[in-house]
């Protein structure tokens, strides 16, 4: 008899789980942005969250949790209930490069991928009155003025890019830590800092307004959304590349049906011409359809990890220092 009641309890619990998945979501969701308001991650999250609300039938509340290059916010999601009501918008810094920090979660094992959202060119930008307009000119000026250039270190991508820049040019920069791209951009515009590596979504409005200048797109090819900005190779420092993209992740153990529901809301948003237009204005390229799946994001993230982790570890950056 005891076995009968145990089996019945399991069936009831299974039924509840199925019912919850079928009715998901029944209350507002939280989309964690692991950086302060004002940056490109925050902007993309708000655009997507508003459009996903139409599909999900519930509000998507943005929660900014900055600090430690995004690892604090991502850690909040790793520890959240795996019910789909809390997920994060992550990027290279948070889901690849954050191994430079001491993490209390596993980037490969503690999350369920939902979808790759966009590919985002990374730019190296400078304050308006910096006496250099290309990377080549910058390096020449640094040789004549050693120790006078500071470099914003607001996340893992900036940290790794700065170290790579020093290695390729044999010039030193003074790293200045910031809690996010928004505050860093404010100080770049004011001329408080010299150099910033940031995604185009943050930089383009200021570049177009003439408040800062772009030295290079840190890619091997020019971006369709910003074709006038030269690549790092063209600008004078060959091989100075950095990845940029956004994706959605949920806590490990989130039911597959719930992941599918979140994925459907994501892909429907990305197929909306209004969202595509808004992304293009920000310098974001909508991710290829094949990568807008949980499997596609998982494979993409693994490729990025396989590429960048050996570089970070061999450079001994942050927590990877020997």
Q: How is 151-212 classified by DSSP, letter by letter? A: EEE-SHHHHHHHHHHHHHH----EEEE-S-HHHHHHHHHHTS-SEEEEEHHHHHHHHHTTSE
- Residue 176 phi, psi (nearest 5): -125, 115
Q: How many residues does the chain have?
A: 322
Q: What's the rounded Cα separation, in Å, for the pair 270 and 267?
A: 5
Decide if pLDDT at 17 tops 60: no
Q: What is the CATH number of domain 27-120+244-320?
A: 3.40.190.150
User: Do residues 168 and 124 lie in contact, with contact meaning Cβ atoms separated by under 8 Å?
Assistant: no
pLDDT band at 228; cut points 50, 70, 90: very high
Identify the CA nearest to 283 among candidates 189, 215, 198.
198
More confident of the two residues 39 and 249: 249
Q: What confidence tens digit (pLDDT) does each residue in 274-285 have?
A: 999 999 888 888
Decide if pLDDT at 3 tops 80: no
Q: What's the rounded Cα separation, in Å, for the pair 163 and 142?
A: 15
**Which pLDDT score is estimated for 16?**
46
Q: What confidence tens digit (pLDDT) does each residue in 101-142 have?
A: 899 999 999 999 999 999 888 999 999 999 999 999 999 999
Architecture of domain 122-235: 3-Layer(aba) Sandwich (3.40)
**Equal fold, 27-120+244-320 vs 122-235:** yes
In the chain, the percentage of residues whose pLDDT exceeds 90 is 68
Q: Regarding beta strands 245-251 and 111-119, do their DSSP bridges make them parallel or antiparallel, or are they unpaired? A: antiparallel
Q: What's the rounded Cα separation, in Å, for the pair 315 and 286?
A: 32
**Which pLDDT score is estimated for 230?**
96
**Which pLDDT score is estimated for 13?**
45
Least confident window among 15-29, 171-185, 206-220, 306-320: 15-29
Q: What confidence tens digit (pLDDT) does each residue in 32-81 have?
A: 999 989 878 999 999 999 999 999 999 999 999 988 889 999 999 999 99
More confident of the two residues 44 and 7: 44
The whole-angstrom distance between residue 279's C-alpha and the CA centroid of its chain comes to: 15
More confident of the two residues 201 and 220: 220
What are the structural domain ranges in the chain? 27-120+244-320, 122-235
In the chain, the percentage of residues whose pLDDT exceeds 70 is 93
**Which pLDDT score is estimated for 1?**
52
Ordered DSSP codes for 297-316: HHHHHHHHHHHHHHHHHHHT
pLDDT band at 184; cut points 50, 70, 90: very high
């Amino acid at each position: 008899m005891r076995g009968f009641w145990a089996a019945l309890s399991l069936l009831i619990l299974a039924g509840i789980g199925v019912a919850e998945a079928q009715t998901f979501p029944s209350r507002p969701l939280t989309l964690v942005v692991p950086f302060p308001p004002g940056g490109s991650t925050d902007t993309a999250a708000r655009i997507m969250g508003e459009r996903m609300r139409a599909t999900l039938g519930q509000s998507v509340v943005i929660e900014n949790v900055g600090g430690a290059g995004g690892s604090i916010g991502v850690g909040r999601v790793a520890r959240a209930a795996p019910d789909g009501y809390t997920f994060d918008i992550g990027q290279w810094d948070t889901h690849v490069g954050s191994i430079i920090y001491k993490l209390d979660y596993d980037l490969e094992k503690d999350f369920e991928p939902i979808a790759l959202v966009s590919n985002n060119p990374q730019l190296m930008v400078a304050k308006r009155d910096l006496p250099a307009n290309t990377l080549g000119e910058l390096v020449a000026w640094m040789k004549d003025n050693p120790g006078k250039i500071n470099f914003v270190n607001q996340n893992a991508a900036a940290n790794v890019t700065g170290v790579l820049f020093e290695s390729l040019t044999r010039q030193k920069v003074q790293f200045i830590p910031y809690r996010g791209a928004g505050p860093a951009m404010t100080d770049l515009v004011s001329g408080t800092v010299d150099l910033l590596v940031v995604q185009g979504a943050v930089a383009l409005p200021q570049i177009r307004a003439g408040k800062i200048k772009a030295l290079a797109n840190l890619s091997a090819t020019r971006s369709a959304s910003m074709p006038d900005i030269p690549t790092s190779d063209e600008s004078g420092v060959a091989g100075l590349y950095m990845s940029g993209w956004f994706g959605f992740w949920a806590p490990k153990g989130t039911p597959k049906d719930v992941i599918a529901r979140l994925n459907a809301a994501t892909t429907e948003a990305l197929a909306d011409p209004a969202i595509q237009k808004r992304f293009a204005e920000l310098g974001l390229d909508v991710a290829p359809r094949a990568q807008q799946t949980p499997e596609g994001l998982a494979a993409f993230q693994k490729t990025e990890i396989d590429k960048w982790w050996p570089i970070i570890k061999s450079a001994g950056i942050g927590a990877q220092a020997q």
